[in-house]
Amino acid sequence: MAAAASTTLSAAAVLAAVLPLAVGAAMSPLVLVLQVRQLLAPALGLARAWAFLLGAAVITLVWLGLGLAVGDLLPPRPTGPDPVAATLHLAVAALLVSLGAANLLRAQPGLAVAPPPPTPARAAAPWSAFRLGLGAMAANLSSLALFLPAVQDLARASLDAAERAGLSALLVGFTLLPALLPPCLVLASGRRGEQLLERLGRWLNSHQRQVSATLCFVFAALLTVNGLARL
């Protein structure tokens, strides 16, 4: 029993490891800008926003399912040194540095991060927003790079079904915040919320790559520290 206990992590310990990565996965300027565009569309803005959120949620759930399936094939996570997690964290940190550098190299003043706003005819079709949500989240490599190590920590921990489901829901919920918060803000604040989102979207539209690069470097540093600590 003592040996088993020494290799079992509590839900609180897993949460402490997963939460910073979940916060990082939530910081997606591109998804936020595209969601703001849906809300400010000439017609059916809220309907388009919920459709966009649904599309993003589908991809995030696919990530979760694949991550849990792969994580279940890996050795259980020990409480001591963990070479599997260390290798993954360091590899993802290197990927984030590459993504950050690519964003800086392509950064240009006033660079648009999405096509021009849709025409009224297209704006009336939430189906197009759903497809955009699918594409935006599928292309969101920085969030995926942080989501996967979090799912790996979750899958390899010895948690019961309720703990695993709860932490999975938290991880998915955090990752979807850039798509979820804007329509909630508009529902709560009305026109004032739309004006705030319009100003935020305009600023992010001009600085999206710089913001993305900064976030990539910050979380690459976090993953590097976590990876080295698990060796």
Instruction: Read off the pLDDT of each residue in 47-72 and give the average, rounded to a whole number.
Output: 94
Residue 157 vs residue 175, higher pLDDT = 175
Q: Could you tell me which of 192, 65, 182 has the C-alpha nearest to residue 133? A: 182
pLDDT tens readout for residues 160-172: 889 999 999 999 9
Instruction: Read off the pLDDT of each residue in 63-90 and give the average, rounded to a whole number.
Output: 88
Helices 177-189 & 45-73, crossing angle to 10 degrees? 150
Q: Could you tell me which of 132, 171, 167, 175 has the C-alpha nearest to residue 27? A: 175
| Per-residue pLDDT at 8 | 59
Q: Which of 100-109, 153-162, 214-223 has the lowest mean pLDDT?
A: 100-109
| Per-residue pLDDT at 179 | 94
Instruction: Read off the pLDDT of each residue in 15-36 and give the average, rounded to a whole number.
Output: 89
Chain mean pLDDT for the chain? 84
Q: Evaluate if pTM is beyond 0.75.
A: yes
Domain spans of the chain, in order of start: 14-229
| Per-residue pLDDT at 183 | 92
* pLDDT of 111 above 70: no
Share of the chain above pLDDT 90, in %: 39
- What is the band of 3 on the pLDDT scale with cuts at 50, 70, 90? very low
Instruction: Read off the pLDDT of each residue in 45-59 and give the average, rounded to a whole number.
Output: 94
- What is the band of 58 on the pLDDT scale with cuts at 50, 70, 90? very high
Q: Work out the end-to-end distance of the chain between its first and last CA atoms, rounded to an integer number of angstroms.
A: 26
H or E segment to which residue 83 belongs: helix 83-106
Residue 106 vs residue 27, higher pLDDT = 27
